[in-house]
Amino acid sequence: MTTPVALTIAGSDSSGGAGIQADLKTFAALGVYGASVITALTAQNTKAVSAIHPLPGDFVTAQLDAVFGDLDVGAVKIGMVAQLSTIEAVAASLRRWSPKHVVLDPVMVATSGDRLLAEDAIEALRTKLIPAASLITPNLPEAAVLLGEPVAASETAIESQGRKLLAMGCPAVLIKGGHGQGSESIDYLIDGKRIVALAAPRVATKNTHGTGCSLSSAIAAHLAKGEEMETAVRNAKSWISAAIAAADRFSVGHGRGPIHHFHRYY
């Protein structure tokens, strides 16, 4: 029996709620072996990001070659890339190793509001990583930044932005509705053929730290297990919704606390 393996390429969150730590928790919770390539170290907690230390591009490349050269990686999740040299290193490695599935979460701003991507790296994200991805998972503000447009406020506008993102070279886009309004949080999965609305009840909680990281890594975990894209997204959405609903079982930190990755177990 082959062990499904997923790789996260992201930043480290010293408080454990987002980034590499959240991704590895997600992989473990979903029964997938997790490997990691760290792009940046952050001094971070539930209230703020106080410092960022990006790792050199050549060391990111060394980590990628070490993992891909030995492990049978079924899916890759890309989160915080921090800077231009990291994007170039990751893009070159993806071309060299050609993993089957790449889920790109275009992380630009933390839940706390702190900026996580250098301004000069946004264009490289558009031109080098989006075309290499199987799926990108922007929230509403991230989709707007990628397109240089206002935040979409209607389903028609979301669908329009989704199709513009597809034109950047990726086959599928999941625009997340967590920043929207209303009693339901609706995510929109858009590919070249259709748009699928995935709704879940909006949960009243301040414990949402790492939600975006964890959803994208959950999708990667399900893809690593061999699921088709829509099935993987649906299963990941169901899991993340339950993790958010269970988040108030935790009392961690004094800001936006973490979700409950292991809600199925305790």
Could you confirm whether 2 is annotated as catalytic?
A: no
pLDDT over 80 at 181, yes or no: no
210 is catalytic: yes
pLDDT surpasses 80 at 162 = yes
111: confidence class by pLDDT, cuts 50, 70, 90: low
Inform me whether the pLDDT recorded for 254 exceeds 90.
yes
For 83-108, write each residue's pLDDT tens digit: 999 999 999 999 999 999 999 999 87
pLDDT at position 129: 96
Respond yes or no: is residue 137 known to be catalytic.
no
By DSSP bridging, strand 102-104 and strand 75-78 are parallel
Average pLDDT across the chain, whole number: 93
As beta bridge partners, residue 190 has 173, 195
Selecting among 8, 26, 213, 237, the annotated active-site residue is: 213
Is there a catalytic annotation at residue 177?
no
Q: Is 237 a catalytic residue?
A: no
Quickly tell me which residue has 């009392």 as its tokens. 251
The whole-model pTM stands at: 0.96
- Supply the pLDDT for residue 178: 65
178 or 176, greater pLDDT:
176
Which residue in 169, 208, 253, 255 is the catalytic one?
Answer: 208
Catalytic residue among 11, 16, 210, 257: 210
Assess whether pLDDT exceeds 70 at residue 112.
no
Rounded CA separation 137/208 (Å): 17
Instruction: Using the predicted structure, report yes or no on whether residue 117 has a pLDDT greater than 90.
Output: no
Among residues 134, 38, 132, which one has the least CA distance to residue 91?
132
Mean pLDDT over 105-114 rounds to 76
For 195-211, what is each residue's pLDDT tens digit? 999 998 888 888 899 99
Percent of the chain whose pLDDT exceeds 70:
96
b/e sequence 68-79, b meaning 16+ C-beta within 10 Å: beeeebbbbbbb
* Contacts (Cβ under 8 Å, ≥6 apart) of 239: 29, 30, 218
Average pLDDT over every residue of 141-146: 91
For the chain, domains (ranges, CATH) are 5-249 (3.40.1190.20)
State the pLDDT at residue 20: 98
Is residue 212 part of the annotated active site? The answer reads yes
Catalytic residue (one of 16, 17, 212, 257): 212
pLDDT at position 114 is 67
**Residue from 137, 211, 237, 257 carrying the catalytic annotation:** 211
Supply the pLDDT for residue 113.
65
> Residue 43 and residue 217: Cα distance in Å, rounded?
22
Among residues 210, 214, 200, which one has the least CA distance to residue 46?
Answer: 210
Query: Which of the four pLDDT bands, split at 50, 70 and 90, describes residue 229?
Result: very high
Residue 161, exposed/middle/buried by CB under 10 A (0-12, 13-18, 19+)? buried
Of 176, 177, 178, 180, which residue is the catalytic one? 176
Distance between CA atoms of residues 14 and 211, nearest Å: 16
